[in-house]
Structure 1
Amino acid sequence: MGSVLVVGALHHDVIVTAQRLPVLDETLPGTGVTYALGGKGGNQALAAARLGASVAFAGRVGRDEAGAAMTAQLAAGGVDVSRIAVDPALASGMSVAIVTQGGDYGAVIVSAANGAIDGGSIALPHDCGLVLLQNEVPEAANLAVARKAAATGARVVLNAAPARAVPRELLSLTDVLVVNRVEAEMIGRGLDGFRGTLIETRGDEGCILRSPGEATRHVAAFPVGVVSTHGAGDCFTGALAARLAAGGDLGGAVSFAAAAAALHVSMPVARRGTLTAADVTRLSESGPAGRTLP
């Protein structure tokens, strides 16, 4: 057991709703707009903290209102923000997302200060048991932090999203790799030789769990009505990290994460911050168990 260190990106999200996604050169009228803290790192840190983990976040923001607001929101969510650096020259990262009435979405991300994160200057908490990484920060930053985690015995969970080639050294330092089916296909043969646990999420089809020396398992999704799938993967990964850091076994942690993602997509966006570990536990304990695939 131990705390979770999330190293990742922060984006000031502008989220608009529309009847559908536009095609090339098309302008559509929207039906609403909201502003939120985003970035996979920020989303996963908040999810893990809400679901019971002791979480510290390391990242980089600009010296601007967006950076100050995102840092304050993480702190309000119970996340230790002492490892967030303020860049004197670059703006905070941001994204613009379009969410349809059917729950689909598309987004454009501007990394800005996130691209200047220095993994070498990031110190792990003294009780760190798990480090959570994603692909929205420089490859060198992930590798530097993963090396520190390996040196201290902390488990490394890498959410390889967005998809890009993963260096062999980083794969060798990764204990649990989380990808969705699109990312798994795009990375493809780059995963050959990976000796850790692979979790491939497949939306309403559940997820596939592959661990060395064990039979491949399918963990079923929990059937729910979908309000929006936006952020479901981050909720899944944050929940997974929280349960693993608490000493949970891998199968139980995956089921817990699947239940968290199901509740996330079924809730109105404004209520998602109220999701608790007790809510997720009730659903995860009522759902179907994973099964071994032939």
Structure 2
Amino acid sequence: MKIVVVGSTNLDLVATTPALPRPGETVLGHRFSTVPGGKGANQAIAAARAGADALFLGAVGDDPFADQLRANLAEAGVDLSLLRIVPGPSGVALIAVDDDGENSIVVAPGANAHFTELTEEDRSAIASAGVLLLQLEIPLATVIEAATVARAAGVQVLLNAAPAQSLPAELLAVTDMLIVNTLEAEILLGYADSSSRRSPSASARGMLAYGLLEEMRRLVPKVVLTAGADGAYYTDQKGGWLHVPTPRVEAVDTTAAGDAFVGALAVALSMGKQIGPALSWACAAGAICVTRAGAGGSLATFAEIDGLAAH
């Protein structure tokens, strides 16, 4: 089944460091690398490597970074027939990764900010898909337009609401499944100080997750809350509840773990898996991702995901 991803592509400029800098602080790093990324591109690659026929709708600039971004997507088998080139720089993400695998990211959108409307070819591609994947690193109007086209055609819409922000009712109204992490959920729901809601205990984290899900399922039919090493939580408007653990692995770099999860979840659902097995499959994809450095190169194949999910 075809999966269409409408989203961003960036070149990630990655520095590793013993600890992430605090505001106003300068720290010395270990290594520097350039890695193709962007949430849209990562999810398209994740879906393609997991076995999907993936088409990417997005934009790159006319700078030297664009060739690297296109090559990265093409190498993974992503269809780039509708990728557009716009004047100016491509998107860039500045990423710092500490020795525990945690990261902080600043995105300069570049060409992604100029992806402001869909062409007739774009709309036709979306309408013929089995699943549409969306994120929030391109203009919101384009996200809403894509979701509206998909809904009119009966295409399942999966929205990964990242980077975190509040969402207009018109987008939520055409979203079938909302996928967020805990911080994104808190911001979506309007909590100004999300740090005050966090707790180090596993039981408290579970209570927080279910509380957030209870509120979010009033907004959309189905909600998935990702919680890193704690796995994924799910609810729907029919009253279903589910928690799926993540396989235990040694984390090296959490960059793109969420994208790995989302891309694999879309593939699992397109294969007809029920929500429990689909979430387990997606958690396995996320777990594999964190054992590898970088973004696009850390995304798992169908065989790798299937092997870990079976354990």
The structure 1 residue matched to 2:226, chosen from 201, 206, 209, is 201
Deviates more, 1:117-126 or 1:101-110: 117-126
Partner of 1:32: 31
Partner Cα distance (1:270, 1:187) in 2 = 25
Are residues 246 and 142 of structure 1, via their aligned partners in 2, closer, same or farther at CA, if it must alter by over 3 Å? same
Contact 1:5–1:124 under 8 Å retained in 2: no
The structure 2 residue matched to 1:241, chosen from 244, 266, 269, is 266
Partner Cα distance (2:169, 2:293) in 1 = 40
Mapping of 1:43-122 within 5 angstroms? 43-88=42-87, 90-121=88-119, 122=122
Partner of 2:310: 285
SS of equivalent residue, structure 1 residue 123: helix
CA apart distance, 1:220: 1.1
The structure 2 residue matched to 1:210, chosen from 213, 221, 235, is 235
Aligned residues: CA RMSD: 1.8
Partner of 1:291: none
Mapping of 1:132-281 within 5 angstroms? 132-188=133-189, 191=216, 193-269=218-294, 272-273=297-298, 275-281=300-306
Are residues 120 and 271 of structure 1, via their aligned partners in 2, closer, same or farther at CA, if it must alter by over 3 Å? closer
Deviates more, 1:255-264 or 1:208-217: 208-217
- The Cα offsets for residues 99-158 of structure 1, whole Å up to 9 and x where unpaired, read as 111111111110111111133322342641111000111110011111111121110000
CA apart distance, 1:215: 2.8
Structure 1 runs not aligned, ≥5 long: 287-294
One-letter amino acid of the structure 2 residue matched with residue 123 of structure 1: R
SS of equivalent residue, structure 2 residue 71: helix
SS of equivalent residue, structure 1 residue 280: helix
SS of equivalent residue, structure 1 residue 81: coil
How many residue pairs are counted as aligned between the two chains?
A: 284
Q: How many percent of aligned residue pairs carry the same amino acid?
A: 36
Are residues 270 and 116 of structure 1, via their aligned partners in 2, closer, same or farther at CA, if it must alter by over 3 Å? closer
Are residues 271 and 141 of structure 1, via their aligned partners in 2, closer, same or farther at CA, if it must alter by over 3 Å? closer
One-letter amino acid of the structure 2 residue matched with residue 211 of structure 1: D
Contact 1:119–1:142 under 8 Å retained in 2: no
Partner Cα distance (1:85, 1:217) in 2 = 40
Contact 1:64–1:92 under 8 Å retained in 2: yes
